[in-house]
A and B are shown apart, each in its own frame.
Chain A
Amino acid sequence: MRGIFELTRVEIMRLRRNRRYLIFTVGFPVVLYLLLGKQVTSLAYGVSFHAYYMVAMAMFGGFSGALTGNAQRISQERKDGWIRQLRLTPLPANGYVISKIFVSMATTVPSIVIVLLLGRFYGGVNLPVWQFLAIAVTIWFGATIFAALAVAIGYRYLPDQVQPIAIAVYFVFAILGGLLFPIGGGLRKVGELTPTYDAVKIATDVIANTSVSAGLAIGLVVWLLIFIGLATWSVRATAESV
């Protein structure tokens, strides 16, 4: 376990040196929130648009870091032989993947903190502290789901294939789940199947002070299990070539 924490610590140190990931995880959501956050005055998902869009943007940034950033790094590290090198050390076989999931949770912190602060002070979203915390926890959990998907993609595809695949998959989940704009009509029915929808709905239900349905939480867990299954499949399938 100590090895996994040590690896996680060094990975986070690397991220602090290479901050390109902040463009997507923080820059993009902040700009969108500044553009749209206060302009729309209707309700979305039972709460004010300001509050909904704060949640949606924090998730959009946080999840994109967990998926696209991670998938790219994992694929590159596999190609470079770093994963192979780690397999020759006493680090447990799953240590690399577990530490990547911890790192994903860490990469969501800037988007959570900055976007939620923006919502509070620019968007005027006034929530009790526990609700902010509940939103943060939901984002962290969601990030682990996308980190698992990142493992599934990163292990299977080469670095130059990963970027378009991860971004395409991500936008499908982001749009259908309502991370970029509220989804209605027929698409909503499809969107309700996504983990991104589950996460947004849990957060907005918390803000609206309505009870969170168990179905949403179950949805997140099921997606986590699906992606863990895919990730395991990818890792096993490439075991001899990593």
Chain B
Amino acid sequence: MSHYGTGSDAVQSDGSDASSSSYGSQKTVSGHGAPVVSFENVSKHYGSLHAVEGLSLDLRAGETVALLGPNGAGKSTSLDMLLALRKPTSGQIKMFGSDPYHAVKSGRVGAMLQSGGLMPEVTVGELVTLVTTLQPRPEPVEVTLKRAGIAQIADQRVDRLSGGQTQRVRFALAICGKVELLVLDEPTTAMDVETRRLFWDSMKEEVAEGRTLLFATHYLEEADQAADRILVINRGRLLADGTPADIKARAGARRLSFRLDPVPEQFLQGLPALVNLEVRHDLVQIQTSDSDATLYAVLDAGYRPYEIEVTGLGLEQAFLAITAEDDLASGDVRAEARAEETN
């Protein structure tokens, strides 16, 4: 969090509004300021591999937060620790003010992990009913089936479903209680485009009821559209924390390109708001966090570039820029870490 100042404060307004909805007032959703989830300097080491290193973050009630990071960045390990499946080597995790195990057992958290499996030999309806009866505050089974879009396959055997259907059943198991926090790891993997759209539509309903949502994804478009806050994780550390707009700005949100002959490289290096500079023959490509300022500086210095183009960078490029910068700064040990985590 210390890396980028914009971070969490910028998005609080969204979250606070949602938490005061009817659902939130029904029980003690942690009030303003009191985080739903907090990681305090959390590390997880496997021998010499530091899967998570000094991770600190807070989630507040009603926020929709995306966790972004390349494979092996420590996303799954972090979610596992949050859900009491793994214990941190050091540091402290709190959920609703208590330790993760008790928070999970209190039925206030619904979770869907990639590694979670389903009980075979039963029907979808039977399985959802079973997990519903485990909840202290169950939702009606029909409501869950409908929300997850699996009402029409309720009579099918769980072990005979397609990948996308299985994924939706897993989602149903995460929302079959009246939970306050939803944790989803790559929720739309194995879904086709249409199902993915339906999934996010139903997610909007969940969030509108005041739920806090934390999801990991590698579809950056999803993070951009659905999240009001993004956490970028690389090599087990938090690299950036802010709104999608913050993250893009952080990475140098725009690309400015033009032609100029000859190219005054020395001068260009010193341009304001410059993040990255590439020169090929007479073509100059600049990544900048403030394209106006950069361009004005070029013009003010008396240069007259031509074929000027300013394009916005997507979240994907921003994300790649942030993680690449980090890898460069610390020598690329990421590949090694990736290999370990996928084992």
Interface residues of A (CB under 8 A from B): 2-3, 6-7, 10, 13-14, 17-18, 77, 80-82, 84-85, 87-93, 240, 242
Top 8 A-B pairs ranked by shortest CB distance?
A81-B117, A80-B117, A85-B116, A90-B107, A82-B117, A3-B134, A88-B111, A14-B121
Provide the residues of chain A in CB contact with B256, threshold 8 Å: none
What are the residues of chain B within 8 A of A93 when measuring CB–CB? 101, 105
Query: Is the CB–CB distance between A77 and B122 below 8 Å?
Result: no
B5 within 8 A of partner (CB): no
B113 within 8 A of A: yes
CB-defined A-B contacts under 8 Å, sample of 14: A6-B130, A6-B134, A10-B126, A10-B130, A14-B119, A82-B120, A85-B116, A85-B173, A88-B104, A88-B109, A88-B113, A89-B173, A90-B104, A242-B85
Chain A residue nearest to B116 in the complex (CB) = A85
Near A by CB (< 8 A), chain B positions 5-47 give none
Cβ–Cβ < 8 Å partners of A85 in chain B: 113, 116-118, 170, 173
Q: Apart from A6-B130, A90-B107, what are 4 other A-B pairs with CB-CB below 8 Å?
A: A87-B84, A89-B135, A93-B105, A240-B85
Task: Write the chain A residue with the least CB distance to B158.
Answer: A82
B311 within 8 Å of A (CB atoms) = no
Whether the Cβ atoms of A240 and B86 lie closer than 8 Å is yes
Closest to B115 in A: A81
The interface residues of chain A lying within 8 Å CB-to-CB of B110 are: 88
Known A10-B130, A90-B104, A240-B86: A80·B120 in contact at CB below 8 Å: yes
Q: Which residue of A lies closest to B127 (CB)?
A: A10
Q: Which residue of B lies closest to A78 (CB)?
A: B117
**Across the interface, which residues of B come within 8 angstroms of A13, CB to CB?**
122, 126
Contact A90 B134 (CB under 8 A): yes
Q: A7-B130, A13-B122 are in contact. Are A81 and B107 (CB under 8 A)?
A: no
Interface residue tally for chain B (C-beta within 8 Å): 33
For the complex, is B136 an interface residue (Cβ under 8 Å from A)?
A: yes
> Dominant SS at the B interface?
loop
- How far in angstroms is the closest Cβ of chain B from A69? 13
Which single member of A6, A80, A92 contacts B105 (CB below 8 Å)?
Answer: A92
Q: Is B83 an interface residue (CB 8 A)?
A: yes
Q: Across the interface, name the chain B residue whose C-beta is closest to A79.
A: B117
Residues of A within 8 A of B111 (CB): 88
A84 and B133 within 8 A (CB): no
Q: Which residue on chain A has the smallest CB distance to residue B133?
A: A6
Complex interface: chain A residues within 8 A of B245 (CB):
none
Tell me how far the C-beta of B305 lies from the nearest C-beta in chain A, rounded to whole angstroms. Answer: 56
Q: Residue B135 contacts which of A17, A80, A87, A90 (CB distance < 8 angstroms)?
A: A90
B151 contacts partner chain A, Cβ-Cβ < 8 Å: no
* Min CB–CB distance B189 → chain A (angstroms): 14
Q: Is B94 an interface residue (CB 8 A)?
A: no
Residue B162 at the chain A interface, CB threshold 8 Å: no
Q: Are A82 and B105 in contact (CB under 8 A)?
A: no
The closest CB in chain A to the CB of B101 belongs to A93
Chain A residue at minimal CB-CB distance from B176: A89
A15 nearest CB across to chain B (Å): 9
User: Quick check: A84 and B104 within 8 Å, CB to CB?
Assistant: no
- Complex-state Cα separation, A10 to B133, whole angstroms: 11
Contacts of B83 in A (CB 8 A): 87-88
Given A10-B126, A240-B85, verify A89-B117 contact (CB < 8 Å). Answer: no
A149 to chain B, nearest CB (A): 23
Answer yes or no: B191 CB below 8 A from chain A CBs. no
In the complex, chain B residues whose CB is within 8 Å of the CB of A82: 116-120
> CA of A93 to CA of B100 in the docked complex: distance in angstroms?
13
- Residues of A contacting B196 in the complex (Cβ-Cβ under 8 angstroms): none
Does chain A have a CB within 8 A of B154?
no
In the complex, which residue of chain A has the Cβ closest to the Cβ of B109? Answer: A88
Indicate which residue in B87, B131, B133 contacts A2 across the interface (CB closer than 8 Å).
B133
Q: List residues of B (41-82) whose CB comes within 8 Å of A's CBs.
A: none
Tell me whether B177 is interfacial, beta carbon within 8 Å. yes
CB distance from A135 to the nearest CB of B (A): 31
A153 to B22, CA, bound (A): 49
Q: Does any Cβ of A come within 8 Å of B90's Cβ?
A: no
Closest-by-CB residue of A relative to B173 is A85
Which among A13, A84, A90 has the greatest number of chain B C-beta atoms within 10 A? A90
Name the B residues within 8 Å of A10 (CB-CB): 119, 122, 126, 130
List of B residues within 8 angstroms of A87 by Cβ: 83-85, 104
Q: Is the CB of B119 within 8 A of A77?
A: yes
A164 to chain B, nearest CB (A): 22
Nearest-neighbour CB distance to chain B for A4, whole angstroms, equals: 9
B164 to chain A, nearest CB (A): 17
Is B276 located at the chain interface by the 8 A CB criterion?
A: no
